[in-house]
């Protein structure tokens, strides 16, 4: 006998929370989403660029077929047809030298033939010093004076009055928790926030939902209990994402050390996860 009468409460309408709701709907499990912010723009008027890499096929576990096959229309540049696998061109910021194409991209594209209609998101990361004003445009442009082209001009041309945002990176390694008989589930950044320079956070959030949806679907079908389904998800997520939290932290530290940068995980293997992360 399955467990068809479960009703899941999803706390947080972020990317992972909304995707969980989609996955539960596909599995025939009722859910209600709760969100503290009145709108997507209330707290964060802009968002990180998010790259879906190895987790793209896993979205089929979470989305309806129609939604999955339309996902390309949500890309920031729907006119761009990436190579397979996609690449992340990597340049020496001081000289402009093209160093490597990393296997793995603009914030919004108006007219693909007119770059003046494009909106860019420029990100600079460094270890903040005591008393430093991270949101000062003048300080940002002073730092950009040392960049190679085209990065120097791209930053120096930022219009005066443009607001600069700062984000303090945080991370923690997921650990086992008492899921109260399968009643408490943690996923995405709530479970394993990680530094972003290897672009893995979104991918592991998708992997969380893929695994969770399949486990809970098995519970509804009667193949396992609800508690066993949640515990199976929990164990796999902790093992998979915990390793990446540590890898991403090491990667961030190495990218800010020129002597070690070339040996960093992003330079050695791009955005590829360990094999187990994509095996169902």
pLDDT, tens digit, 9 for 90 and up, residues 200-217: 999 999 999 999 999 999
**Three-class SS of residue 8?**
strand
Cβ-contact 192, 244 below 8 angstroms: yes
Q: To the nearest whole percent, how much of the chain has pLDDT over 70?
A: 84
Q: Which of 19-23, 35-39, 257-261 is the least confident region?
A: 35-39
Using the CB atoms, write b or e for 216-249: b if 16+ within 10 Å. bbbbbeeebebeebbbbbbebbbebbbbbbebbb
Tell me the pLDDT tens digit for each residue of 109-139.
677 788 777 777 788 888 888 888 888 999 9
Q: Is the pLDDT of residue 17 over 70?
A: yes
In this predicted structure, the answer to whether residue 229 has a pLDDT above a threshold of 90 is yes
CA atoms in the 13 A half-sphere facing the CB of 137: 10
Pairing mode of beta strands 87-91, 98-103: antiparallel
Mean pLDDT of the chain: 84
Residue 19's pLDDT is what? 96
**Higher-confidence position of 276 and 185:** 185
Cα gap 245→276, rounded to integer Å = 15
- Report, as an integer, the average pLDDT of 222-228: 94
Q: What is the pLDDT of residue 45?
A: 57
Please tell me the distance from the alpha carbon of residue 159 to that of residue 175, in angstroms, as a whole number.
45
pTM to 2 decimal places = 0.83
Q: Which residues contact 221 (CB under 8 A, 6 or more apart)?
A: 2
What would the pLDDT profile of 46-68 be if each residue is shown by its tens digit?
555 677 888 989 999 999 999 99
Residue with tokens 């995980």: 265
The mean pLDDT value for 99-118 works out to 67
Average pLDDT over residues 35-53: 70
pLDDT: is 233 or 37 the higher one? 233
Neighbours of 73 (CB within 10 A): 7
pLDDT, position 105: 42
pLDDT, mean of residues 38-47: 63
Rounded Cα distance between 62 and 64, Å, is 7
């Amino acid at each position: 006998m399955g467990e068809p009468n479960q009703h899941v409460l999803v706390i947080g309408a972020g990317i992972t929370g909304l995707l969980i709701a989609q996955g539960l709907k596909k599995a025939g499990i009722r859910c209600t989403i709760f969100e503290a912010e009145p709108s997507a723009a209330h707290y964060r008027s802009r968002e990180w660029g998010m790259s879906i890499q190895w987790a793209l096929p896993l979205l089929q576990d979470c989305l309806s077929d129609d939604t999955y096959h339309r996902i390309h229309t949500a890309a920031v540049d729907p006119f761009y047809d990436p190579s397979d696998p996609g690449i992340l061109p990597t340049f020496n910021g001081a000289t402009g030298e093209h160093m490597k194409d990393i296997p793995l991209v603009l914030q919004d594209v108006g007219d693909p033939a007119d770059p003046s209609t494009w909106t860019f998101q420029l990100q600079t990361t460094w270890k903040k010093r005591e008393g430093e004003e991270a949101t000062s445009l003048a300080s940002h442009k002073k730092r950009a004076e040392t960049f190679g082209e085209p990065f120097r001009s791209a930053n120096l041309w930022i219009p005066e009055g443009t607001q600069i945002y700062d984000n303090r990176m945080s991370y923690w390694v997921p650990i086992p928790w008492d899921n109260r008989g399968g009643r408490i589930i943690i996923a995405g950044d709530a479970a394993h926030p990680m530094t972003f320079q290897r672009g893995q956070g979104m991918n592991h959030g998708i992997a969380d939902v893929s695994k969770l949806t399949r486990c809970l679907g098995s519970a509804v079908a009667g193949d396992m209990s609800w508690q066993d389904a949640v515990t199976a998800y929990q164990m796999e997520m902790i093992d998979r994402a915990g390793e990446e939290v540590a890898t991403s932290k090491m990667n961030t530290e190495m990218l800010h050390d020129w002597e070690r940068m070339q040996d960093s995980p992003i330079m050695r293997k791009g955005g590829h996860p360990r094999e187990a992360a994509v095996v169902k």
